[in-house]
Amino acid sequence: MTAKASVGQAVSPVPSQSLHFCRRLLAWMVAVTAAFAAFHAGSVRAADPDPNLKAVQAVCGRCHTIAVFLKQTRSWDRWNDVFADMTQRGANGTDEQLAQVTAFFLENLTLVNVNSSPADELAGVLGVSDEVAQDIIARREQQPFANLAQLRAVPGVDSEKLEQRKSRILF
């Protein structure tokens, strides 16, 4: 029921049944929205143990979904080419976000060759300290690594991290 009024005329009130229905519909919509938001937030938290992923979503997700690259592994040089391209296209973030994006890509999406990669890449991809990365370089200069077992033998290398990242470790 629509009522038009000109200046000075009274408008007939909305019937109480319609008003009651609108209120119930609005309450239902708010409840469904709140339930969906709570479910979505819970599912993202449960599937997102990496705190750096939030920064990746903030920086990279402005232009495209992160699904575009989450299953792609590349060398660090190639990722840097991608970062340069995205920066020219307008990608940006705070210094903290960019540091988190860097950590995420090193820890999750970067290939590393144990026998040729520089110390910073070894440290980031293998999850070792700079000192352990230097120890890996010293060892490979004497004899190149041939497998994960040899890499595990270096003090300070976390076997669990190697197991998680073995598909991205080259020899």
For the stretch 112-147, pLDDT in tens is 999 999 999 999 999 999 999 999 999 999 999 999
pLDDT at 39 over 50: no
Supply the pLDDT for residue 16.
53
Mean pLDDT of 6-20: 49
pLDDT at 38 over 50: no
Supply the pLDDT for residue 50.
87
pLDDT at 4 over 60: no
pTM here?
A: 0.68
Longest dimension (CA), the chain: 96
In contact, 121 and 76? CB cutoff 8 Å:
yes
Categorize the per-residue pLDDT at 33 as very low, low, confident or very high, splitting at 50, 70 and 90: very low
Q: Say which residue the tokens 């705190």 belong to.
A: 51
Question: Quick one: CA dihedral 132, 137, 112, 75, positive or negative?
Answer: positive
